[in-house]
Each structure stands twice: as C-alpha cells, then as structure tokens.
Amino acid sequence: MYLWIVVAIAVTAYLYLEWRNRNAAKAERDAKPPVTTKELNTFLDSLEAARLPMAGLHPVDGDPSMTASRIGGPLWSPEETQWPSDEDGNPMLLAAQLNFAEFDGLNEFPDKGILQVFLQVGEDGQLKWLDPHEGFRVRWFPEPSQGVVQQVPERLAMAKRGMFRTEQARQRGVALRSEVTSAPANSYIWPYSDREWELVDRNPADDTAAEMLEGWEERMEQLADLPSEHWVGGHPSFTQEDVRHDPELHDLDRVILHLGFDKHVCMGDAGELNLMIAHKDLLARDFAKAYCTWDCT
C-alpha cells in the first residue's frame, strides 16, 4: 500500500516537472523572433558554400600492393627501418596508408606521396584513448621509391579483439578503391551545429518556414549521409561531439583521413576516427601538425 503511494507521488512529481519544463521552453521560444524562410535558406546556402573535395575510400577484394592506399597490413618504407613504436617500445598499429597519386582531382592535397597513420594500442590490440597530440604518429614520404616491406609484428597480427575485425586487415591489408567527389558541410559539425540551433529553436514566421522546419531533420541527415565509411578530404564526422568546439582547435578545417565502421574496422562501439589539419599546414605539407581523435558510442 505504502509502496504504491510512494510510486504515485514520484510519477506525479515527474510529470509535473516535465510539464513545467515544457512550458518554460515554450515561453523561451515564444520570446524569440520567429525564424524566416530567408534565414533558413541562408543557412542551407552556407552549407553548400563550404563544400569540399573528398575521396571516398571503398574496400575491395584482393591483397593490395605495398605502396597502395590501404587499411592495415605490412609496413612499407623507402629503406630499412624499425617498425614505429610508442614510448614504452610497443609496436604501433598501422591504421592506414594513403597514396595520393591515386586521388586524381583532390584539390589542395598532394598529387603524389605516401602518408602512413599509426595508432597506439594496448596489449589486447584495442585502441588507447588518444592524447590528440600524442598516441599517434604520421609518416610522410613525398617522393616514394621502391622501398622495403616488413610484416606485421605478431602481437598486432594476432590481436583479434583490436581495431581490425578481419585477418585481411590485421595481416595483409585491405585494398581501397578511391572515388573523388565532394561533400557539403552539415549541421552536425562545428560551427554549423551552433548556428542551426539558433534557427530551429524558434517558431516559424510563416507556413513556408514551418514546412521547411517540418522536414529539416531529414534534410540534414541526407546532407551528412556519405557514400563511404572512410574518406580523405571533405568534412569530419563524429560519433559524439565535434572536438572543434574547443577554440584552440578552430583552425582544423581539413580532413586528412576519416575512418568509420565496416566489416574490417571497428573502433570501440562503432567509433569514428578523424585525422585533421589546418588548411595552411595542409598546403605546406606540414603533416607533423596533424591532430588525431576518435570516439565511439
């Protein structure tokens, strides 16, 4: 008897708080100037104006050549060298290799050269949470030659619970077919996420604006829906929040590499990785200033 009374009081209190919060939100929204069709269209135009070239990276069957763009696999180097390791001497994971000679038409990026991305992993092969300025390494070879190949260290090749879900990715590498296209900005990334909220958190000024707002979320999802899980160029994508809300990271406006989730790659729970760089540093080919981050659900 007493339990039911306690439950009833708790439910009533919850419903009251929900009602109060909804009314407070409505009152706050009603106090703002209505959003106009012109404002909504201006925002859409800004997304299109921020369109950037990108190369979608599509996994294909077969073993890749050692200088080709790929996910995982052996280490190519222009000369004999040690497999990159972290500060404790543990081998780092070759997450991806990009051969820019394959990306014809990817403006602002090199037209040749090989870039490799290494990540720090634990004993079980799982990615470590990155200090964005540490825990990863980028190697850049602007004039690749014939080179030599090292097989994947056993610790990484056998890490079935790590970032790579398949033996192909862990040991031989996953070949990538590139498709150069372009992508607009979207409302899920900085600074557009902040600007969008200022618009959609207001009442529509007329029926046309109301109609636009009714289909707004679907439209934003379509803009953010890309034909590949991995890419070079374009805009970043995050499982959680865009790290560039931090003012110190505002200049990271180009994506060197984005890795998503597929049958070969899984970071945490369907995570995403972004290797980003400032436009000026990309043009200077100063990849030492790249910033790497990954997140998951």
More confident residue, 27 or 93: 93
What is the average pLDDT score of the chain? 91
Q: Examine residue 132 and say whether the peptide bond preceding it is cis (omega within 30 degrees of 0).
A: no
The 10s digit of each residue's pLDDT in 244-292 is 999 999 999 999 999 999 999 999 888 999 999 999 999 999 999 999 9
The CA R_g of the chain, rounded to the nearest whole Å, is 23
Closest C-alpha to 201, from 33, 38, 41: 33
Closest C-alpha to 133, from 235, 261, 276, 284: 276
Per-residue confidence (pLDDT) for residue 6, from 0 to 100: 62
In angstroms, the CA 293 to CA 127 distance is 11
Q: Amino acid identity of 198?
A: E
Per-residue confidence (pLDDT) for residue 259, from 0 to 100: 98
- Contacting residues for 205 by C-beta, under 8 A, at least 6 apart: 34, 35, 36, 37
Buried b (16+ CB within 10 A) or exposed e, 75-110: bbbeeeeebbebeeeebbbbbbbbbbebbeebeebb
Residue 186 pLDDT > 90, yes or no? Answer: yes
- Dihedral pair phi/psi, residue 135, rounded to 5°: 75, 0
**33-59 mean pLDDT:** 97
Band (pLDDT 50/70/90 cuts) for residue 183 is very high
Band (pLDDT 50/70/90 cuts) for residue 22 is low
Closest C-alpha to 235, from 180, 195, 182, 283: 182
The 10s digit of each residue's pLDDT in 213-243 is 999 999 999 999 998 999 999 999 999 999 9
